[in-house]
Amino acid sequence: MKKRFLLAVVLIMTLIIAACSDGTANEVEKNQGDKKEEAKSGGRLLLGTTAAPTLFNPYYSTDTSSSTIEGFIFSGLVTVDTDFNPEGDLAESWEFSDDGLTWTFKLRENVKWHDGEDFTADDVVFSYNIPLHEDYIGPRGLPFEIIEEVNKVDDYTVEIILSEPYAPFITITAQFEILPEHILGDVPIADLGKQAFNTKEPIGTGPFKFTEWKEGEYIQLDAFEDYFKGKPKLESIIYKIVPDTNTLMAQLQVGDINLAGISPQYIETAKKLEEQGKVEVSTGDSNAFEYIGYNLRNDLFKDKEVRQALTHAIDKDAIVQAILDGAGTVAHGPGSPANWAFNPDMPEFEYNPELAKKKLEEAGWTPGADGVLEKDGKKFEFVLKTTSANEIRQQIAEVVQQQWSEIGVKVSIELLEWSAYVEQTSPPLWNFDAIVAGWSIGSDPDPTWFWHTSEIENGLNYNGFSNARVDELLSKNTQISDLEERKRIIAEADAIVAEEQPNTFLYYVQGSLAKSPTLHGPEFNAANTYYKIHEWYFD
């Protein structure tokens, strides 16, 4: 009887193993020699990510993994090069009228969808009308809000009329990928987010076509022979889901992954692997900044001098060196050096605890019996919130807590799980004194989101920052299509923000990319990691 039991167990195990198979057993077996040869020259790019994608439709997805894969499958009218300059993709060329309201795109001819159909102006008209539709339930309404109408002039010319001049139109809106009208044209817009197209059979015009989504494991994309910029050299892309970063690093090390972004905590490991010749690491400024944000609704932070004093008390350089291993650039104001609109001459409040104490004393804060600053019987103490989802921010909170205690400011740290953190810090609660946080800027440098008074109520201006001159400049910035003039305006606004210090700007984030030494093409840049991916290849 015992034997039979054992047999049953083995049988069940075998059955389950067989049930897990994906039916590839029927494929012709290749001999071992072939396989080795293929691995060397075959050009299968293994990408690694810790977060699984959600769906492949740019008008409905919001996560990075999905948008990366969308970039392989679909194409937009324009894309950006490695310096955020717009570059024609499906559009061959474009021009705008003198009032900045009418944009005319000349489309490429002979572009094929993955199912062999021709790409035409109808597809553009269809796609851009999705977020404009009254039944649209999706996260991408805002970039299309300024569009008045989208007109087909002929099969390969599209005219887009805006309700007001809007500079980011070309770098944000025109980058949205185009969907096939011949497949989705008849779907009611309200149901578009739930189509099987988005998860099982997306059809695009991009360099790689969707082949398979193996639940929880990987997404496979194969080269599209008729890609309009030429057949990609890589045969396929496997987008692997590896939830644990330590495992991801191990996979990178043994070549189970060829390319992965490296988060700051793992730079040291990546550098070690580079010394051993197992990977190559490229780094650069990414388009983001980290900061300590003050809630200006709180009386403690109403005085500009006090905010500047708090900044004087923080040794940003030590934070960058000790917590980031030097993988960051000390910041004094908003923006990012990776961005063309960056202002390198903003007011600076250098590390100087003595000056911090002096400024606070001038503002009426004097040390109490326990060393904590007091003013009118009120102690200078508050809660610094950040998310447990980000180890670096936790460490920053600890260092800052220590450094502030040295000038008599008492801070307690509260760590919140990501969703809880977002809910507490964002509108309409703004339930925080100060936060350790960061912003990523996006492909257009428009700072309106962070500092304009109109963004307080519902937007990203969590601080509640309001400055008349900044409002004026920011309202102007998106109306100007001339880059140099726009740059001057953004620079002036950023300098005022830096002077006002609604945030202590800590550092500009550095990004890193690790790749297999045999892979040619990828190079770290903040704008477009997969720029010209159809030209990448393996030795």
Partner 1 sequence: MASYIVRRILYAIPLLFLITIISFGMMKMAPGDPTALMMDPMIKKENLVAYQEAYGLNDNVLVQYVRWLGNMVQGNFGESLIRQGVPISDLITARLPNTLLLMLVSSFIAFLISIPLGVISATKRNSLTDYSITFVSFLGIATPNFWIGLVLIMVFSVNLGWFPTGGVSTLGEPFSIWDRIHHLILPALVLATADMAGLTRYSRSSMLDVLRQDYIRTAKANGFKNSTVIFKHGFRNGLIPIITILGLMLPSFIGGSVIIESIFAWPGIGLLFVEAAFQRDYPVIMAVVVIAATLVVVGNLLADILYAVFDPRIEY
Q: Amino acid identity of 133?
A: H
Q: How far is the CB of 366 from partner 1 (least distance, A)?
A: 39
Using only C-alpha atoms, the chain has a radius of gyration, in whole angstroms, of 26
Side by side, the strands of the sheet bearing 147-154 are: 91-96, 102-107, 157-162, 147-154
Say if residues 356 and 310 touch (Cβ distance below 8 Å): yes
Q: For residues 269 and 253, what is the distance between their CA atoms, to the nearest angstrom?
A: 10
Q: Does 23 bind partner 1 (CB under 8 A)?
A: yes
**Which ranges of 255-390 would DSSP assign to H, the alpha helix?**
267-275, 304-312, 316-324, 353-362
The footprint of partner 1 on this chain (CB under 8 A) covers a number of residues equal to: 72
Question: Residue 100 or 193: which CB sits closer to partner 1?
Answer: 193
Which of 351, 430, 449, 537 binds partner 1 (CB under 8 A)? It is 449
Contacts of 322 (CB under 8 A, 6+ apart): 399
Query: What DSSP designation does 7 have?
Result: H
Candidate residues 418, 479, 485, 518; the one interacting with partner 1 per rule CB under 8 A: 418
Give the one residue of 8, 9, 11, 383 binding partner 1; rule: CB under 8 A.
9
3-state helix, strand, coil in the chain (%, to 5): 35, 25, 40
Expressed in angstroms, the distance from the first to the final Cα of the chain is 58
Between 195 and 401, CB nearer to partner 1: 195
Stretch that binds partner 1, among 211-219, 281-289, 357-365, 515-523 (CB under 8 A): 211-219
Q: Does 44 bind partner 1 (CB under 8 A)?
A: yes
Residues 455-494 touching partner 1, rule: CB under 8 A, are 458-460
Restricted to residues 260-319, the positions that interact with partner 1 (CB under 8 A) are: none
Q: Find the part of the chain contacting partner 1 (CB under 8 A) among 134-142, 289-297, 320-328, 351-359.
A: 134-142
Phi, psi dihedral angles at 494 (to 5 degrees): -60, -35
Using rule CB under 8 A, residue 52 touches partner 1: yes
Q: Identify residues 499-538 at the interface with partner 1 (CB under 8 A).
A: none
DSSP string, 455-494: GTTTSS-TT----HHHHHHHHHHTT---HHHHHHHHHHHH
| Closer CB to partner 1, 28 or 369, in the complex | 28
Sole binder of partner 1 in the list 16, 32, 186, 344 (CB under 8 A): 16
According to CB under 8 A, which residues from 347 to 406 bind partner 1?
none
Rounded to whole angstroms, the Cα distance separating 410 from 183 reads 61
Selected range binding partner 1 among 294-302, 417-425, 480-488, 516-524, rule: CB under 8 A: 417-425
CA distances from 147 to 58, 65, 337, 345 (A): 18, 28, 31, 36
Binders of partner 1 among 138-197, rule CB under 8 A? 138-143, 145, 172, 193-196
Please enumerate in sequence order all residues whose Cβ is within 8 A of that of 511, keeping only pairs 6 or more positions apart, or say none: 261, 283, 284, 285, 286, 524, 526
Stretch near partner 1 under the rule CB under 8 A, chosen from 249-257, 287-295, 319-327, 375-383: 249-257
- Exactly one of 7, 14, 40, 305 binds partner 1 (CB under 8 A); which one? 14
140 vs 520 by CB, closer to partner 1: 140
Point out which span in 22-30, 281-289, 501-509, 520-528 binds partner 1 (CB under 8 A): 22-30
For residue 296, the minimal CB distance to partner 1 (Å) is: 20
Q: Based on CB atoms, which residue is closest to partner 1, 127 or 251?
A: 251
Using CB under 8 A, pick the residue from 419, 454, 479, 518 that binds partner 1: 419
Considering only 55, 296, 300, 470, the residue that binds partner 1 (CB under 8 A) is 55
> Does the footprint of partner 1 cover residue 62 (CB under 8 A)?
yes
Beta strands, E only, 163-311: 208-214, 218-223, 236-241, 259-262, 280-294
**Contact between 246 and partner 1 (CB under 8 A)?**
yes
Q: Is 27 in the site for partner 1 (CB under 8 A)?
A: yes
Contact segment (CB under 8 A) with partner 1 among 53-61, 203-211, 347-355, 482-490 equals: 53-61
Give buried/exposed letters for 95-134 (b at 16+ CB in 10 A, else e): ebeeebbebbbbbbeebebbeebebbbbbbbbbbbbbeee
Nearest to 144 by CA among 113, 120, 176: 176
CB of 29 to partner 1, least distance (A): 6
